[in-house]
Amino acid sequence: MRITTLLLILICGLLYSCASGEPEEQADTRPNIILILANDMGYSGLGCMGSEIQTPNLDRLAGNGLLMAQFYNTSRCCLTRDYLLTGLYPHQAGTGSMVSGLPEAPAYQGYLKEQCITLGEVPGEAGYTTLLSGK
């Protein structure tokens, strides 16, 4: 009887120790965010937008995500990036002009103002890992 009780306690303890491990990590339900800005690409530059050029990987991303098809940009790509990164007009962000030698003015300093919050910072505060690749 003693051995049976001891064996039963041992088995229960073993089963309990197996079942009470670390709690399983819950799957992250937040969406992945991939933002692509391409220079000199026309409206129909992707296969999914009617291009003759095959772009299967980008087409798959566009098919499973959000495709922005109505947009405005400046003639200089650096100012377009400032729009996109800050949500501000370039002169509000400090990059109203990329030409040097202009009279000193905060709207035309040629780089983002310190108080500008960028698109790379906001997701980071929500726990995302952000990456910039390219120019």
CA atoms of 23 and 8, how far apart (whole Å): 26
Write the DSSP string, 36-102: ---TT--TT-SGGGT-SS--HHHHHHHHTS---------SSHHHHHHHHHHSS-HHHHTBS---TTP
The first and second tokens of residue 3, run together, are 């051995």
Give residue 11's identity as a one-letter amino acid code.
I
Q: Cβ(7)–Cβ(97) under 8 Å?
A: no
Kindly indicate the confidence band of residue 52, based on its pLDDT and cuts at 50, 70 and 90. Answer: very high
Predicted confidence at residue 133, as pLDDT, reads 83
Give residue 98's identity as a one-letter amino acid code.
M
Residue 81, judged by CB atoms within 10 A of its CB (0-12, 13-18, 19+), counts as buried
How large is the average pLDDT for residues 81-89?
84
Backbone angles phi, psi at 113, to 5 degrees: -65, 150
* Whole-structure pTM value: 0.61
Q: For 17-47, what is each residue's pLDDT tens digit?
A: 666 556 667 777 888 888 888 877 877 888 9
